[in-house]
Amino acid sequence: MELPWSNGQPLGTNLLALWHTVRVPLLVSLALTYLAVVITSRLRARASKSDSPPSPSILEPQLSAEPDGTVPLPEKFEADVLSKKRRKLSPASNRRPKRIAGTQVQKKKAISPVSDGLDPASGPAGAVPAQSSIQVFVFYSSLTGSTAQYAEKLAKDLFSEPPYVPTPAPPVTDIPDDSPAPAKAAFLPPIVENLDYLDLDDYFITPATLQTPNTTSVYLLVIPTYEITSPVDAFLEHLSETHHDFRIDTKPLRSLAGFSVFGLGDKEGWPAEEGRGGGVFCGQAKEVDRWMAKLTGGKRIFPIGMGDVKNDAMGSLREWREHLEILLRDLASGEVIAESNTLDSEDEEDIDQEDTTNNGMEPLVDVEDIGNSMRQTLTTSQPPKNTKSASGPIAIDFTTTSSSKRTPKVKEMVPKDSPTYNSLTKQGYTIVGSHSGVKICRWTKSALRGRGSCYKYSFYGIKSHLCMETTPSLSCSNKCVFCWRHGTNPVSTTWNWTVDPPDMILQGAMDGHYQKIKMMKGVPGVRADRFAEAFRIRHCALSLVGEPIFYPHINEFLDMLHSRRISSFLVCNAQHPDQLARLKYVTQLYVSIDASNKESLRRIDRPLHRDFWERFMKCLEILRAKRHRMRTVYRLTLVKGFNIEEEAEGYADLVEKGLPAFVEIKGVTYCGTSTSVGAGLSMSNVPFYEEVCEFVRKLNDALGRRGLKYGIAAEHAHSCCVLIASNDYFIDGRWHTVIHYERFFELLETGKEFGPLDYVGPPTEEWAVWGQGGFNPADERVYRKGKNKGKTMQEVAGGEAESGCG
């Protein structure tokens, strides 16, 4: 076929010619058309985007329209998003109802800032008004100070962050909403309380009452566990006694809004998880949880949490708090009042039965399962899946490791396999039996080398290399800030351990002492004559650490010492009037007077007894009565910033009360333990000798003003110690502070009554009287080099010096 415009050429040739003719205009027009299409579509897209509602994926669960057209945003967006958005909206758009796209949720909730802001008054206008208040109390107990920090942190962080939502709400309509409910009650700022010093009756027999009307309380308890006796034991005992006291309602704390417990423990040291009590990881916190469930009638807001102090306990506390906050918010909304945990009498029996039949074992919920178990707890009246009973304690393991090792219950005060035992032996103590200790003092070593004895030689004639320092009770009822016990010794108000016989303790202590003396034989400078003498103990200082008077057979122990012609100094902490009253003869009887008034004593001695001041005063009365039978001494340990300033008059009043024969005043020895550091003690609290002397003069003047006949008798500047003595010991124009030891034993052997002035020794050495320094010229004085020169031996001695009350 031939085409009209083919000019007789073949078809291919003609088509090619045609393409060459039209190609340029054609390609240009195609490109222009494409450009026009792209630009139009982009402009459309931009225009349509500016009209779209917010992305459902971000705001969907929390948003819905308000009648006034504003949008109640979830709290975490409130600060930044809400203000920006409201600023953007024109008045016209404000009047128009806003269309919100997304899945409809079951309940619309917008938490009022009042429920999260801690002060209702600080809530912005338009916030849901608070009808009542909830007071959160954060209680803690602490032996070495760390739990105090966790408790403070908990109180500080509570509600400080946006609400935590465990899982994002799935896009279905029939599940409960995790977002916070409107608050009906406002949270007042949390109050932190130390259980160790609280009058427990005021908080745990009846709930703490506040003056504020319509206020209910929530108790959060942060509890460490101790295998040894600790203040937690006293708290547990109080809870148990309250529950069993027939005069008190068995659920006296039922009007609390709720409680929850967080335990702190050391999983590496105490890996056992089953059961409760000391020796088990967080075992005592579990006990507290159980008692609180009983006393409140099951008002457990959230299951017990646990933190391993060696494995991110702060992180565990944070997780626990975040979950707890959800339930606290719900509590504030009035929707959930721990009702699934409410106990009836059958439940209580179950718990009691569980104690005996199940060996106290509790199911653990893994941290990953918290969301699920919580959801179940909140939404159904059934117990959570992994738990045996919602009414029993539900332990949540916020730590990651696990172990099945069991630790046996402790019956002895310091068992051989305990950390206390290890810690004490590392510090150089020899543990005798299960509750006694002996340690060679740095002054004993010094005397063996001819470098001087301690103040006891200057004041009373005791040679340090003939002195044994020991205690029949490593436990004490104080937690003095300057104590050397490194915070690991048992503390208790009563003796509740097995008791070793006195002869065994004495023999063990002497063996331990001689063993340590033997180890000195190779030490350069040890004098042969003194080394030989040292194997005949002539004096026993019952001080060291702990409370010797605590030992039930202390009188027999003293008798044994005296029958071996070993004199005795006994230092007690003025907290055990009954034992003090029962005490028979001591060569010299001391009470530690660490402060002149109640508040100062509480701060410095941190006593466990709630009636510590009454006990203290009673002991002074007893001492006053005993002054006719034996030499009595007040031991003052001066701590700068704690008990020196403005206290001379107060101390003078105490001297007037007890009329001791002597007042020994010494500067504190800085031990630098974490406990003392935790209590705010540093080298700056150690007074210089001049400061001690200045205080002594003030005290002496104050005594004079009261008409009390005392004088400054002797000094031992080397150990920062000064002696004030009753004028009874100023005989024939000279001080007679030295003891006639042989006479003391003879008097004892007569079996007749005698008094302290019957065994007064020779005059105080001239070099020891006040103003002469107190260093025996027969000894070699050694000064240390370097920056410590000029400070007292006590300051530079570090861990080698005598104990806080020794």
804 binds ligand SF4 (CB under 6 A): yes
**Whole-number minimum distance, CB 136 to ligand SF4, in Å?**
32
For 592, which DSSP code? E
Round to whole Å and give the CA distance between 137 and 151.
Answer: 10
Residue 573 sits in the site that holds ligand SF4 (CB under 6 A): yes
The residue among 652 and 805 lying less far from ligand SF4, judged by its C-beta, is: 805
Q: Are strands 395-397 and 436-439 parallel, antiparallel or unpaired?
A: unpaired
* Helix 313-333 vs helix 370-379: crossing angle, to nearest 10: 20
Residue environment code for 458-473, b if the CB has 16+ CB neighbours within 10 A, otherwise e: bbbbbbbbbbbbbbbb
User: Least distance from C-beta 421 to ligand FMN, angstroms?
Assistant: 9
Q: Do 103 and 60 touch, CB atoms closer than 8 A?
A: yes
- CA 429 – CA 544 distance, rounded (Å): 10
Among 196, 266, 469, 647, binds ligand FMN (CB under 6 A): 266
Contacts of 56 (CB under 8 A, 6+ apart): 101, 102, 103
Q: Does 475 bind ligand FMN (CB under 6 A)?
A: no
Residues whose CB is less than 8 angstroms from the CB of residue 239 and which lie 6 or more positions away in sequence, other chains included: 204, 288, 291, 292, 295
Residue type for 14, please?
Answer: N
* 282 near ligand FMN, rule: CB under 6 A: yes
Q: Which of 77, 159, 281, 642 binds ligand FMN (CB under 6 A)?
A: 281
Our finding on whether 309 is near ligand FMN (CB under 6 A) is yes
Decide if residue 679 touches ligand SF4 (CB under 6 A). Answer: no
Min dist. Cβ of residue 435 to ligand FMN (A): 14
Q: Kindly tell me which of 256 and 509 has the beta carbon lying closer to ligand SF4.
A: 509
Which of ligand FMN, ligand SF4, none binds 479 (CB below 5-8 Å, type-dependent)? ligand SF4
Using rule CB under 6 A, residue 576 touches ligand SF4? no
- Interface with ligand SF4, residue 493, by CB under 6 A: no
Q: Which stretch binds ligand FMN (CB under 6 A): 276-284, 339-347, 459-467, 724-732?
A: 276-284
Q: Which DSSP helix (H) or strand (E) runs through 36?
A: helix 11-49
Span interacting with ligand FMN, options 1-9, 90-98, 106-114, 225-233, rule CB under 6 A:
225-233
Q: Does residue 479 interact with ligand SF4 by CB under 6 A?
A: yes
DSSP state of 709: -
CB contact at 8 A, 489 and 561: no
Q: Does position 420 bind ligand FMN by CB under 6 A?
A: yes
Number of residues that bind ligand SF4 (CB under 6 A): 13
Q: Name the binder of 476 from ligand SF4, ligand FMN, none, CB < 5-8 A by kind.
A: ligand SF4
Q: Which of 434, 488, 676, 792 binds ligand FMN (CB under 6 A)?
A: 488
Report the residue number whose CB is nearest to ligand FMN: 265
Q: Is 157 buried (19+), middle (13-18) or exposed (0-12) by CB count in 10 A?
A: middle
480 near ligand FMN, judged by CB under 6 A: no
User: CA torsion sign, 23 to 28 to 33 to 34?
Assistant: positive
Give the nearest distance from C-beta 472 to ligand SF4 in angstroms. 13
Residues 594-633, one symbol each (x = binds ligand SF4 by CB under 6 A, - = not), give ----------------------------------------
Structure tokens at 654: 């105490």
Partner in contact with 145, chosen from ligand FMN, ligand SF4, none, beta carbon below 5 to 8 Å by kind: ligand FMN
For position 146 contacting ligand FMN by CB under 6 A, the verdict is yes
Sign (positive/negative) of CA torsion 682, 684, 690, 695? negative
Shortest spacing between CB 260 and ligand FMN, in angstroms: 18
675 binds ligand FMN (CB under 6 A): no
* Of residues 339, 366, 362, 338, the one with CA closest to residue 350: 362
Q: Which option in ligand FMN, ligand SF4, none does residue 485 bind, with CB closer than 5 to 8 A by kind? A: ligand SF4
| Burial grade of 575 (CB within 10 A; 0-12, 13-18, 19 or more) | buried
Q: Among residues 377, 367, 294, which one has the least CA distance to residue 331?
A: 377
Interface residues with ligand FMN (CB under 6 A) are: 142-147, 224-228, 264-266, 269-270, 278-279, 281-283, 309, 419-420, 488
